[in-house]
Structure 1
Amino acid sequence: MSHEYLTVYRSRDPRTVFISDIGAHISEHWDLDRGIPLRGRISEATHLNLDPEQGDLLCDFISNPEQALIVSERARALLEAEGTLSEEVVEYLPFTLLDKRGKPTRTRYFFANLLRKVDCMDTAASEFTPAATGGILAVDKVYLRQEHIPADVKLFRLGEFPQLHVIRSDLLQRIREAGLTGLEVLAQGKEIF
């Protein structure tokens, strides 16, 4: 069976909440982009705030400027039920989310720090800015070489540019069927902005 692969992107719905203060509360927060283990650096003692200038709709996937994958307890349960998201593939790092009044939300949230990276970018078809030191500085449009993606992988980081999370269409369908909210995706070749 052939699947489509899409890029996970932050919600553009102005009604949804947004977390903008990750850098103020997590040292070396840029490590969230790299797919390296962070256990012990983020805990429930880590408090993050909802941006007061953004919407009020609390979702199962919460957007943030770091493009970190932030999931509710419901979303975590669904991802774990999919079976391929073991601790070797993703670590769930709990933190305390404070509402706009500074009170902890009822729902528990986690950074879903994806550790699995797959080198599968079609560099000939994709549009990107190379970094002066090698690697990739930014990606404008991405195309994937699906034959390089293992058959059991449904959610991963793009190996060449780990800031991008990629989701397989059947997992996305399960998320939508479960009524989980806040996850937006972009098809291959769409402008990443």
Structure 2
Amino acid sequence: MQFFQLSTLGDMKNPELALTWGTPEGMEMRGYTLGRGKPATPHYPKRARVSLREDHAGIQLSSLLGNADNYLVVHKDVKQVIAEHCQGVEVEYLPFDLYDHRKRLYSRDYLFINPIGTRDCLEPVASGVEIGPEGGVIHVAQCVLDPKKAEALPALFRPVEKPAAYIVSQPLAEALRARGFTNIIFTPLTFSAAT
């Protein structure tokens, strides 16, 4: 089965598309949980608010709202497809109110998708994983899957060495494509030939 990395930036060449800005108001320093697969629910505001980027004029809504925070921000219709494929997988689905550049309510149809935890799936040498002096990962050149580790991977997950990345299975990618969702960009991943 093939796997794909899902971009959280979306189509950066289209200036008309809306981009979101920062963490939900009220999460402050806990916003990292949404981009790293840590449980965000304990810190999530009851009435979460997210704004469009003030330095970007685009207002066109799409199925995936691009952002530079490594957050998976999608329309509720995309969430439905992901949830169908992720039964039995720990994933947080966290809705929010989206506000425009003038601080007016723009939409209540979006949410964060936060797959909890990470999966050991990369082949470290082929992926160019660099380990720092304290033993932590400091860089991953690219996500190259280890075929031995890929047999039991779920439909949506994060790799251990790069928890800010989102990887989806071929069946989920095909289901999302079939629905014609906009601004969802996949990069096919390769498997390592190393044994």
Q: What TM-score does the superposition give when structure 1 sets the normalisation length? A: 0.84
- Asked whether the 8 Å contact 1:67–1:163 carries over to 2, the reply is yes
1:41 is matched with 43
1:56 aligns with 2:59: yes
Equivalents in 2 of 1:78, 1:150: separation in Å? Answer: 22
1:81 is matched with 84
Q: Residue by residue, what CA displacement relative to the aligned partner does 1:120-176 show, whole Å, maximum 9, x if unpaired?
A: 111111124433322212322220113313446111011222111111122111101
1:112 is matched with 113
- Aligned to 1:146, the other structure's residue is in SS state coil
Equivalents in 1 of 2:118, 2:148: separation in Å? Answer: 15
Q: What TM-score does the superposition give when structure 2 sets the normalisation length? A: 0.83
Identity over aligned pairs, percent = 22
**Shift in CA distance, 149/89, structure 1 to aligned 2, threshold 3 Å:** farther
- Asked whether the 8 Å contact 1:130–1:136 carries over to 2, the reply is yes
Which 5+ residue runs of structure 2 have no aligned equivalent?
191-195
- Aligned to 1:167, the other structure's residue is in SS state strand
Which 5+ residue runs of structure 1 have no aligned equivalent?
none
Equivalent pairs counted in the alignment come to 185
- Asked whether the 8 Å contact 2:129–2:161 carries over to 1, the reply is no
The 5-angstrom pairing of residues 1-193 of structure 1 reads 3-9=1-7, 10-11=9-10, 12-14=12-14, 15-22=16-23, 25-28=26-29, 29-54=31-56, 55-82=58-85, 84-86=86-88, 88-151=89-152, 153-188=154-189
**CA RMSD of superposed structures (Å):** 2.2
Equivalents in 1 of 2:24, 2:68: separation in Å? Answer: 9
- Aligned to 2:32, the other structure's residue is in SS state helix
- Asked whether the 8 Å contact 1:92–1:111 carries over to 2, the reply is yes
- Asked whether the 8 Å contact 1:114–1:157 carries over to 2, the reply is yes
Equivalents in 2 of 1:146, 1:118: separation in Å? Answer: 13
- Aligned to 1:40, the other structure's residue is in SS state helix
